[in-house]
Chains A and B, each alone.
Chain A
Amino acid sequence: MEKTAVGSLSQLTVGVGAGDMATADMVLNIGPQHPATHGVLRIALTLDGERIVRAQPIIGYMHRGAEKLFEARDYRQILVLANRHDWLSAFSNELGVAMAVERMLGLEVPARAIWARTLLAELNRVLNHLMFLGAYPLEMGAITPIFYAFTEREVLQAVMEEISGGRVHYMFNRIGGLKEDLPAGWLDRVDDAIAAVRRRLPDFDRLIRGNEIFQARTRGVGVLAAETVLAYGASGPVARASGVDFDLRRDEPYLAYAELDVPVVTRSDGDCYARFEVLLDQVAASLGLAGTCAQRLRDLPPGPINVRLPKIVKAPEGETYTWTENPLGINGYYLVSRGERTPWRLKLRTASFSNIQVLGELLPGCLVPDMVAILGSMFFVVGDIDK
């Protein structure tokens, strides 16, 4: 097999080429533009028929230099950028930065802000998960669930927009709390929205979870062992589906999670179906948490929702590491300050980046359609990978 000689040529002559190149591997570039990668992730697959021999995720097509930009932005401006790298969990991203800075400043965040943040973070988690619950079946050819998911997302986004003014990039966190207090009657509308989403969740069960074709496509496909999860630092629903029972909300509580009974959804199979189930059950769990938060917010005594800060916030010299359980997994923020208005360095540890590294392990040996199933079940946002 003259692979060296034929290597680059074989890419050109696929299909039409014949003769001596019959034994050359076929290289299939999934992406940078491909429906299954929702974003610009590229995976170079070496195929033997439809079987994947080698898979190499190639990232960086969406690198926007977020970390470098942070170094030239003050702490309020960083929030604007921070909610953009993972556009599906904007609130959680702002939250991590805000918490890191608050820890550096030694700020005590008012109780109302803590509970409101927890509520919004959980709603954001549901929004994020619904997106994947819709997009994942879509990649497998079921075109309907995404519209149900978006209908539900719309209900929640209306609530998020009412409080924050934004539908995707909420920009509602501030150092020391939230931008504004809740509008009157908002908590009731949150309850309504939660109830509406809850009502529709059985449809997902019936349409996808119980579907034999979907199960045939996902069960036993892309099995991720717990050791691999640990070795690659995968986290979030992907890790929990492999039996890694780790959730920062329970194991290292931040915000108000210490006072909440956080249900951690886990599965042990580690296959695509388990990952999907974790996500689906997590939606129900998060809706429950959000409902509890809304009730707690009603019961709280009146008080401020943020801390009055001087116009210019300077974090004292030092460093800190905050991590949060984002919808997609663990997000870490390593903040180094030299006592200026801007951080000296703010390193992001994003969940998607760690999660997709596993692809190189998972894909070889699978078929091309399995690749789609695995890719969809790794739950990543390309912006979150490339930053």
Chain B
Amino acid sequence: MNQLISTSPLSLPSRAPVAATEATVSTFGHDPWWLILGKVVAVFVFLVLITLFLIWAERRIVARMQQRLGPNRTGPFGLGQGLADGIKLALKEEIIPAMADKPVYFIAPIVATIPAFLAFAVIPVGGVVSIFGHVTALQVTDLPVAVLFILACSSFGVYGIVLGGWASGSTYPLLGALRSAAQVISYEVSLALALVPIFLYAGSLSTSEIVAAQNRFWFVFLVPSFVIYMVSAVGETNRAPFDLPEAEGELVGGFHTEYSSLKFALFFLAEYINMTTVSAVATTLFLGGWHAPFLLSRVPVLNSGWFGLVWFTLKLLTVLFGFIWLRGTLPRLRYDQFMRLGWKLLIPASLVWLLLVAAMRTLVVEDVNLRRNLVPVGIVFVVLLLLVSFWPSSKKPDRDGEGEDGHPEIAVGNRAFPVPVLPGEQTDPTLAPREVTRA
């Protein structure tokens, strides 16, 4: 496959000029063991630090949006808040529900956390640098199918949520887990479809090569892809306004209602790392990865080596700010609306867009000037997309359905003088006061 890509005419123009600092799949696999270990540890530390920072940043930014100050007591500007929260959580009492399926209950948070970390292994955080004489890329590893690996990791993480919700043996977590499962299944599709145009342009599924392909222009000009990706990413990470699995107003805590102490902290960590990962993927695939922004990329020093790490982090934080901003502003969608958005809008839209891109791409290979036309086409497409998305549904909620499956209608007598069910009055045995406790 690698061979196929390198011989593909599509990826040739962007590769040629700065080949020295750009990594390709073939750059990897030559590091000594200590360097690999070092990179792994560095990525782990980076993610944990980003999470700690993110907890703080989210609370501060949302607070400022609400005209509050946010945490400002732990350390300078309250920067220690993330750490303090973590320590507090770890020291808290662990309560395991009696009805929990213990092995699964234990494994679930771990299942949720590990893939979150794993996905970051293939994210290029910088260009090729020299560490103690070894020339290596700032990336743990790369695969010819690195993007698929990321998608696999992010969909694997949901098992943790589903298992956790199921194993808690309680109603709210179960509902949260069900929602989460449906959510990830639906949005995984549009998420992946939104990335296909990138593959068409980059001619590769390897993250480092996609970044290299963005040397001239970022793939963010594929606006519909970017919009669809970001919307799906928010859905995929269970963040507001798509935080249905943990909707605190409805499901109390959702899938982690029954979790406490360190296990809860793991879920929490997983959520934030997932958020970081999808932002890092957005940075890598759409925002030029570690490349310097716009004009600065003309300066060779700023566009290579360790500077890449700075640009990458800045871009990552910008995308993360978007997440926080959304959280501070928007209410939550209802479940069926959310599903409608995914299946009836995002997936068809990304399919149509994919068709367009493929067509354009074919044309571009023959006539380069057509590329300019893609941006206006994209903008028109986004407008159409939004138009469709907020078109009011003409379907009225049907209220007759519930009588069919054997349940009696609620005991309300005469419509003119309705008598609501009184606490003592049992209309259905399932409403009987609970005699058996959970013990």
Contacts and interface: CB of A to CB of B under 8 A. Distances in A.
Direct chain A–B contact by Cβ atoms under 8 Å = yes
B294 interface: no
B390 A212 contact: yes
B169 to A, nearest CB: 4
B165 interface: yes
Contacts of B248: 35
B430 A46 contact: yes
B334 A141 contact: no
Given A12-B436, A46-B407, A231-B417, A216 B429 contact: no
Nearest to B334: A369
Q: Give the interface size bracket for B toward A.
A: 35 or more
Interface in A159-218: 207-208, 211-214, 216-217
A139 interface: yes
Interface string A119-152: 0000000000000000001111111100110010
Contacts of A34: 252
Nearest to A29: B171
Interface string A9-30: 1111111100000001111100
A8 B335 CA distance: 28
A312 interface: no
Contacts of A104: none
Interface in A96-122: none
A44 interface: yes
A7 B249 contact: no
B258 to A, nearest CB: 10
A371 B251 CA distance: 11
A255 B62 CA distance: 43
A138 B432 contact: no
Interface stretch (A47-55, A279-287, A344-352): A47-55
A53 B243 CA distance: 24
B241 A54 contact: no
B436 A56 contact: no
A147 B67 contact: yes
B411 to A, nearest CB: 9
B42 to A, nearest CB: 34
Interface in B393-417: 396-399, 401-402, 405-407, 409-410, 412, 415-417
B110 interface: no
B250 A368 contact: yes
A56 B166 CA distance: 26
A307 interface: no
A144 B438 CA distance: 37
Interface string A50-93: 11011111111000000000000000000000000000000000
Interface stretch (A295-303, A359-367, A378-386): A359-367
B438 A12 contact: yes
A344 to B, nearest CB: 28
Contacts of A366: 397
Contacts of B402: 48, 51, 53, 364-365
A372 B330 contact: no
A54 B407 contact: yes
B104 to A, nearest CB: 9
B330 A213 contact: yes
Q: Is the interface of B mostly helix, strand, loop or mixed?
A: loop
B431 A56 contact: yes
B328 interface: yes
Contacts of A144: 62, 65-66, 328-329
A360 B412 contact: yes
Contact of B418 (A51, A217, A231): A231
A227 interface: yes
A8 B401 contact: no
Contact of A217 (B333, B390, B405, B435): B333
B331 A372 contact: no
A63 to B, nearest CB: 12
A13 B251 CA distance: 18
B108 to A, nearest CB: 12
A240 B62 CA distance: 35
B334 A370 contact: yes
Contact of A16 (B166, B247, B397): B166
Contacts of A369: 244, 247, 250, 332, 334-335
A274 B94 CA distance: 45
A15 B247 contact: no
A48 B405 contact: yes
Interface in B348-407: 390, 392, 396-399, 401-402, 405-407
B31 interface: no
B9 interface: no
A148 to B, nearest CB: 7
B241 A148 contact: no
Closest 7 A/B residue pairs (Cβ): A141-B332, A147-B66, A142-B331, A139-B249, A140-B331, A365-B399, A7-B429
Given A46-B430, A217-B333, A365-B398, 13 more contacts: A1-B406, A15-B170, A16-B100, A16-B167, A35-B249, A36-B250, A54-B427, A143-B62, A143-B327, A147-B66, A361-B410, A366-B397, A370-B334
26 contacts: A4-B429, A11-B434, A14-B174, A15-B170, A16-B100, A26-B171, A27-B431, A34-B252, A44-B431, A46-B428, A51-B401, A53-B407, A54-B410, A56-B423, A140-B249, A141-B247, A141-B249, A141-B332, A143-B327, A144-B65, A147-B68, A208-B331, A213-B332, A217-B333, A369-B250, A372-B247
Interface of B: 62, 65-68, 99-101, 165-175, 240-241, 243-244, 247-252, 327-337, 390, 392, 396-399, 401-402, 405-407, 409-410, 412, 415-418, 420-421, 423, 427-432, 434-436, 438
